[in-house]
Amino acid sequence: MIATLALLLAAPQAAAAPDPAIERRVARVLAKAPVIDGHNDLPWEIRERHEAKVESLDLTTSTAALPYPLQTDIPRLKKGGVGGQFWSVYIPATVTGPRAVEMTLEEIDIVRRFVAANPSIFEMATTAADVRRILKAGKVASLLGIEGGHQIDGRLSVLRQMRELGVGYMTLTHGKSLDWADSSTDTPRAGGLSEFGRKVVMEMNRIGMLVDVSHIADTTMAAALDVTKAPVIASHSSARALADRPRNIPDALLARIGQGGGVVMVNFYPAFLSKAWNDWDNARGAYAKSVGVPTDAYGPKSPAPLVEWDRTHPMPRVDASTVADHIEHVAKVAGKGAVGFGGDYDGIGGTGPEGMSGVDSYPLVLAELARRGWSDTDLAGLTSGNVLRVIARAEEVAKSMRGMKPIDATEPE
């Protein structure tokens, strides 16, 4: 009996059944404060899986049943209450040098093309005022985020021009360390931030570009927090105390982000939400490889050989309640003003928490938090208020630095 009780207490608890009163509450919150999500990889998926044929991809209908399904489309954005999205202009960390800059420009082009193709739905935004105006008009404010410092080819001149093109944030690294900044998932090269790396952060402050601390090593994050004059964001990271992964943020750094007025935008990838799910997924992938099942970013292409393995290895449950656990943990450590959504849709291998396979999923998490006692004000901060405050504060810092000349730094060799 005691052992059974312990197992029940240790297992993830499923989200509660829908409550019409809470659903109405959530709808009212979203009507006033739509979701501004910190990270979506639709541009890369359009490039890689749809040959960058933006104009022939109809986002006004469901993209879930396409030969290469997507997690984002206009009907699901509307259902999810999304009013703002940082579109990641990601390129792989293995691409470096001038080609990295070129590919980043191509990614920006993809975003601008699907925004232009759907002018009644999307509008580009670069400031907090832009976002508020676009939200009021009932459209989706479209912002840009670079996902790795390799995309500026070690040049502050490129960084400045990316800002001129409307890029709102830069993640200091992606999956590989740079000469000037260390990644959370690679061997250190810079000892956190090099002198050039510190100049990158200062120049981002000066030009009003948000410093994104997702993907970076703890040492890099601590150094960035030491240097920055503006609040930082973590565009798509979760809490390491609940899922011990290097991509997640430890409590000491969560607290510092909150103290600095920043925001941690919780990632929906099950592997970052649950160590048990990550271990299961790795074991499943290893088994698929051992029996010769081909895989891609979505997992094994031929699931039939895995039916028996799946029967004897049930997938650990990860759902809206698990996401809410991470949000509440960040809020407990850093404050409710320091949390947001960074779903990472179309960048999480076609998966998601149970019942949360696309961008229509945010109301499920909001309903779960409402059941846990979050007020409408708290929920509105989570959806958009917190990140809007950070954007506005970064603009204020940039305004205060207008008398400062562009930083003239020697690029790392």
| Active-site amino acid positions | 39, 41, 147, 174, 215, 236, 344
CA nearest 264: which of 254, 275, 274, 273? 254
Task: Give pairs for 192-198: CB < 8 Å, separation 24+.
Answer: 192/217, 192/219, 192/220, 192/222, 192/223, 193/219, 193/220, 193/223, 193/224, 193/227, 194/412, 196/154, 196/409, 196/410, 196/411, 196/412, 197/149, 197/172, 197/223, 198/223, 198/227
Burial 148-184 (b: 16+ CB within 10 A, else e): bbbbbbbebebbbebbeebbbbbbbbbbbbbebbbbb
Total Cβ atoms within 10 A of residue 373: 7
Nearest CA to 79 among 358, 324, 321? 358
**Rounded to 5°, angle at Cα 129 from 229 and 249:** 45
Phi, psi of 367, rounded to the nearest 5 degrees: -65, -40
